[in-house]
Amino acid sequence: MDDNKTVSAPSHTDAPRREGGGFVELVRTVVIAGVLALSVRTVLFEPFNIPSGSMIPTLQVGDYVWVAKYSYGYSHFSLPGSPNLFTGRIWESTPHRGDVAVFRFTKDTSIDYIKRIVGLPGDTIQMREGRLYINNQEIPREPEGEYTAIDEHRTRMEGDRYREILPGSAGRGPVAHDILKLTDEGGKNDTPEYVVPPGYFFAMGDNRDDSADSRFMGDEPQDLGFVPMENLIGQAKWIFMSVDAAHPFWQVWYWPAEIRWGRLFMGVR
């Protein structure tokens, strides 16, 4: 009796079937991976990059952040391509004062904005001589020294850094965060009183004198005004990458030096 095991060689008629089966499995794997990635991006987290200096010093130009899409519930803006399938928000949760949030621009909802939420429905917001007032109470700020910022145009901005303390909301404690002030003059530093209407919020950049935000209520294309809750995408949570990009992309030898290693995996506060 022959105990040797034999393996049959595949015939020519078997080969196309096996190759076809392998291709089908590859397509199936790619489709499943794509669906899973799309589901995570839609429901859980989505990456965003910071293209401007309006949130300096909290966020720098070239930061990449993870945004939690579940933070405030879901609107049609949460879906890829923003199909107009429904109005309002599903599983809606009101944002908190002090949150750094990504939302759709009021004048063009194809554009994503990131700002800090400083006013909720019913709040009165005003700037007086460069100081922020919420509900007629001056918001305390503590000086932290001089600060030099570099914006998206590689322009140096010399200003002062402050630790601002926003009042909490919905039972949460105060929110301490840093801001940059370049001046206390100009219309953006002396505004009318704005009362946030129901269903909206008031957003400002931490770089207070270089931010197109809710202080601008006009009809100009860049004016933000009050932001509908429906426009919310999610809350910025972590910085997962940060690149200075001071040199052209093709100069690969600068890449390691341009990564801001100290900012990787920082929480956004």
The reply to whether omega before 57 is within 30° of 0 (cis) is yes
Contact at 8 Å (CB) between 161 and 147? yes
Residue 234: what pLDDT?
95
Other C-beta atoms lying within 10 Å of the C-beta of residue 147: 19
Contact at 8 Å (CB) between 231 and 112? no
DSSP 12: T
Residue 6: what pLDDT?
40
Q: Which of 69, 115, 181, 188 is catalytic?
A: 115
Strand positions, DSSP E, the chain: 45-49, 63-68, 100-104, 112-119, 124-128, 131-134, 137-138, 141-150, 156-166, 175-181, 194-195, 200-204, 227-228, 232-242, 266-267
Residue 214: what pLDDT?
97
Residue 42: what pLDDT?
65
Residue 88: what pLDDT?
82
Per the annotation, the verdict on 54 as an active-site residue is: yes
Q: Which of 54, 71, 75, 78 is catalytic?
A: 54
Residue 10: what pLDDT?
43
Half-sphere exposure of 172 (CA within 13 A, CB side): 15
Per the annotation, the verdict on 242 as an active-site residue is: no
Residue positions counted in the chain: 269
Residue 141: what pLDDT?
96
Per-residue confidence of the chain (269 residues) as pLDDT tens digits?
Answer: 444 444 443 444 444 555 567 877 777 777 776 666 666 666 678 999 999 999 999 999 999 999 999 999 999 888 878 888 888 888 888 999 999 999 999 999 999 999 999 999 999 999 999 999 999 999 999 999 999 988 888 889 899 999 999 999 988 999 999 999 999 998 899 999 999 999 999 999 999 999 999 999 988 998 999 999 999 999 999 999 999 988 888 888 888 899 999 999 999 98
* Of 32, 30, 77, 69, the residue nearest 47 (C-alpha): 69
Contact at 8 Å (CB) between 79 and 86? no
Give me 63's structure tokens. Answer: 């930061």
